[in-house]
Structure 1
Amino acid sequence: MLKFILLACALLITANVHAATATNITNQAEKVSPLLPGLTVPALTLKDKNGKNVVLAERFAEKTTVLIVYRGGWCPYCSKQLANVQKIEAELAELGAQIIAVSPDSPEKLAETKIDSPNYQLLSDDSLLLSQTLGLAYYLDDKTATIYRDKLGVNFVSVKGKEKVALPVPAVFVIDKQGLVHFQYANPNYKVRLTESLLLAAVKSVSEQ
């Protein structure tokens, strides 16, 4: 646990520095170390689809937050997950929860999405700083990076110049108003996502505390 606290502090210090200075990126998706329940998400600032700054701590303070970290709008599994969560948006709202979904997509890419709700916001982590803070970032191997770029036309964030590209392992966190993580689900197999019923149960447990 001390490891994560020290890491969070280090990343907070470098929050205003180019992402290339942050190094919490593993070489494989299976080796990521997601932030554990009981720890606090550092106060970082991301951008919305209009390029405006959004301070996560301020959003967290409003209500219980379902924080979804996904690979990008180009990923069909991510798109399906976002759509499925949108189906239970009203139920989450009744439990006093909001939805914040974050990806490496640029604000311009986020603007192309059809999700438009005051209770369901998409944010850009195009520097991968949040993904690194949450312990989710990993480098793609060269073969996979080439396939994704050539066949999907995806523009990835390059954390170490042109040699390496990185993505986050898809994850879901349930966070209280103080920014404390109460529930976490992260799976290196990007095809397997958290079910809506389990997510609702996790949010309900937080709202009852």
Structure 2
Amino acid sequence: MLKSIFIVAYLTIATVVSISSIQHIISGNQLYSYLGVLFTSAPIALFVMRIMILKDRARTSNNLNIVLLLAVFGVGLTLFNGVLKGDDIEPLYLATGMTALFLLYDHWYSKLDRSSSKLVVGEELPPFELRTTDGEAVTSESLSSGAKIFVFYRGNWCPLCVAQVKEMVAGYAGIKEAGATVAFISPQPQKYSRSLAKKFGVDGIEFYQDEDNKAAKALGIFSAYGTPMGMQAMGYDSDTVMPTVIITDGEGKVLWTHETDNYRVRPEPETYIEVLKEHGIAPV
């Protein structure tokens, strides 16, 4: 619950502080101190805004070190001006607070607890049930007629997830040639999955709904309150799934998994083909 509230509050605060800092800079009020504050608030706000609008990045670095360096520089700038030039202490408080919020985002919010996972490489995939975009029930066993790449994603509200779908669709010719098909699975309402299927669906790529996160719970990749607060107004449930990729063979045995412990880190597309080659499914 705390994480779903935190991300909305943090991005709102970062945006408000950035706008306020720009106003101070324009007015010439403690110019360099508020420039320092801007370095601690604007980068994360602009970063999130960019990926939300463009939806073209399926992954980021693990710790967003550039954003952290800018924040540290910003704190130093406000400290320098506050101590040596006698500026008000308020900008330093703001810069320090924004940096602390970023560290919480980077080292707490972004991290995922994978201790509940039931996925074991070399063993059969635990059974689960899904629904097609037409509402028909299908079982995981019925999907195991050949090598399969199961991609569990949080929903259309997640720009990294949409970028991951785009990326895999763009590279699907290579995946298909390697002997596998792809199943995108999300707990989101059917209308959103149908929208993605209509936009990105190609032969060999299927979209499914994990109703009430039953599959996520069966696999141990369920994320309680993983949806940002406010998305419920658009029909999304408060609970979601942790981004996960599973590759199985034609008999439903798990060949490989990617269970990221950071929601911003996703596997490169080439990785899937390498896994298929390693297991003799794709030609070397």
Correspondence for 2:256 among 165, 177, 183: 183
Is the counterpart of residue 133 in structure 1 residue 133 in structure 2?
no
Residue 72 of structure 2 aligns with which residue?
none
Deviation string 1:168-194 (CA, Å, 9 cap, x unpaired) is: 110111101111101000113211111
Correspondence for 2:159 among 76, 79, 95: 76
Give the 3 Å change call, closer, same or farther, for CA 193–154 of structure 1 in structure 2.
Answer: farther
8 A Cα contact 1:49 1:109, kept in partner: no
Give the 3 Å change call, closer, same or farther, for CA 175–31 of structure 1 in structure 2.
Answer: closer
8 A Cα contact 1:32 1:136, kept in partner: no
User: Following TM superposition, by how much is the alpha carbon of 1:128 offset from its aligned partner in structure 2, in angstroms?
Assistant: 0.7
8 A Cα contact 1:74 1:154, kept in partner: no
User: Following TM superposition, by how much is the alpha carbon of 1:126 offset from its aligned partner in structure 2, in angstroms?
Assistant: 2.1
- 1:108 partner letter: K
Unaligned runs of 5+ in 1: 1-27, 157-164
Residue 236 of structure 2 aligns with which residue?
155
Larger RCO of the pair (alpha carbons < 8 Å, separation 6+) = 1
SS in 2 for 1:127: helix
Identity %: 21
4+ residue segments displaced more than 3 Å: 147-150
Deviation string 1:46-70 (CA, Å, 9 cap, x unpaired) is: 1111112222211212x10011011
Give the 3 Å change call, closer, same or farther, for CA 208–77 of structure 1 in structure 2.
Answer: closer
Give the 3 Å change call, closer, same or farther, for CA 145–81 of structure 1 in structure 2.
Answer: closer
In the superposition, the TM-score normalised over structure 2's length comes to: 0.55
Correspondence for 1:97 among 160, 174, 180: 180
Task: State how many pairs are aligned.
Answer: 169
In the superposition, the TM-score normalised over structure 1's length comes to: 0.73
Give the 3 Å change call, closer, same or farther, for CA 36–203 of structure 1 in structure 2.
Answer: same
> Equivalents in 2 of 1:195, 1:33: separation in Å?
24
- 1:53 partner letter: A
SS in 1 for 2:255: strand
> Equivalents in 2 of 1:48, 1:120: separation in Å?
12
Unaligned runs of 5+ in 2: 1-110
Residue 28 of structure 2 aligns with which residue?
none
Quick check: which one's helix share is greater?
2
